[in-house]
Amino acid sequence: MKKQYVIAFGEVDSERMNTVLLNKTTVVVICFLLVGLLSLSVYITARGFHRLHTDYRLSALNKENRVLEHAYQTLNERMQNMESNIDDLKKRHQHICTAAAMPMVDVEYGVGGPESRSKMTHDEHKKIIHASINLTQLEMDIEHLGYSMDRLENMISTKVQQIAHYPSIRPVQGGWISSTFGKRIDPFTGRSEDHPGIDISIKPDSEICATGAGIVKRINARVTTNKGYGKYIIIDHGYGYETLYGHLSKIFVQKGQRVKRWDIIGLTGNTGKSTAPHLHYGVSVGGKSQNPFDFIL
């Protein structure tokens, strides 16, 4: 005989009680349904927590990825800027070597860009930080090199300009030295005197060159027989240097005019205190006459 279970519901003091008779199979099914509903509830709750955890982890990974991407872009921009600075340094290096007539030396700079983002992993963070530190040091080195090159360029520019103004060539092509610098016998008085330059005997109307870059300080076109340098030109080369060209027949420059080395400034003659056609050439430094032979290369 099968067992039966009674489920009673209603008020206890009620006269009529409703009862339901359930067999054992029905009870087991109900228990399974309750357990299933409870399991489903637990599963849904667990999956919700798992989803929240996954979303949080994904958000953290996306944030880390953005940080890495930004770090990569920053390193790449710094590297491009550094390569541009290096190209500028190479051009300046070549300019310096050209200006100073130095042999060009190839300089290799050991730099390279960061790896492509596709090859990077999230474990590369420390490597990026290390690369950034090294890049900062390299940028400082390049900045210091640029500063040193600025000073070198200024020094070379000054020297090149000074060399351009230095009276370093003969003022005429040809001729011969008829009187040197220093003590000599004056051909007019027969007495010993200081000769503040050199005399170059040469045929009349020979071209005279400026011996260095400068500005025409003074010209004299008036001639007094047997007095002074006749027609002459004085050029101020800067740095304390001045040159004088005397006994000219013609003058091709004006006061205040800028000239360069090898520019034709006049023609030789026999004006002033002169016994024959020649050029008197004088060099002074700081207002004191110097031997022109000490300057002619």
Q: Please tell me the predicted confidence (pLDDT) of residue 281.
A: 97
pLDDT confidence tier of residue 101, bands split at 50, 70 and 90: low
Q: Please tell me the predicted confidence (pLDDT) of residue 107.
A: 47
pLDDT confidence tier of residue 102, bands split at 50, 70 and 90: low
Among the listed residues 221, 223, 204, 227, the one whose alpha carbon sits nearest the alpha carbon of residue 273:
227
pLDDT confidence tier of residue 77, bands split at 50, 70 and 90: confident
Q: Please tell me the predicted confidence (pLDDT) of residue 124.
A: 61
pTM for this predicted structure: 0.58
Highest mean pLDDT among 12-26, 133-147, 154-168: 154-168
Range 209-234 average pLDDT: 93
- Tell me the C-alpha distance between 53 and 70, whole Å: 26
Name which of 60-69, 173-182, 279-288 the model is least confident about: 60-69
189-198: long-range contacts (C-beta < 8 A, 24 or more apart)?
194/289, 196/282, 196/284, 196/289, 197/244, 197/246, 197/280, 197/281, 197/282, 197/283, 197/289, 197/292, 198/280, 198/281, 198/282, 198/291, 198/292, 198/293
- DSSP class of residue 270 equals -
pLDDT confidence tier of residue 193, bands split at 50, 70 and 90: confident
Q: Please tell me the predicted confidence (pLDDT) of residue 165.
A: 95
Q: Please tell me the predicted confidence (pLDDT) of residue 92.
A: 74
What does each C-alpha distance from 18 to 12, 74, 161, 291 come to in angstroms? 11, 80, 122, 144
Task: Kindly give the residue spans of alpha helices, DSSP state H, lying in the chain.
Answer: 24-99, 125-165
Q: Please tell me the predicted confidence (pLDDT) of residue 110.
A: 46
Residues 6+ apart with CB under 8 A from 268: 172, 202, 203, 204, 205, 206, 208, 247, 248, 249, 277, 278, 279
Share the mean pLDDT of the chain: 80
Residue with the bigger pLDDT between 128 and 227: it is 227
Provide the sign of the torsion angle of the four alpha carbons 101, 159, 210, 263, taken in this order: positive
On the question of pLDDT at 106 being above 70, the answer is: no
On the question of pLDDT at 199 being above 90, the answer is: yes
Range 188-216 average pLDDT: 92
Q: What is the pLDDT of residues 251-289, one digit of tens each?
A: 999 999 999 999 999 999 999 998 899 999 999 999 999
Is residue 259 within 8 A of residue 214, CB to CB? The reply is yes
Q: Under CATH, which number does the domain 176-294 receive?
A: 2.70.70.10
- Tell me the C-alpha distance between 72 and 149, whole Å: 31
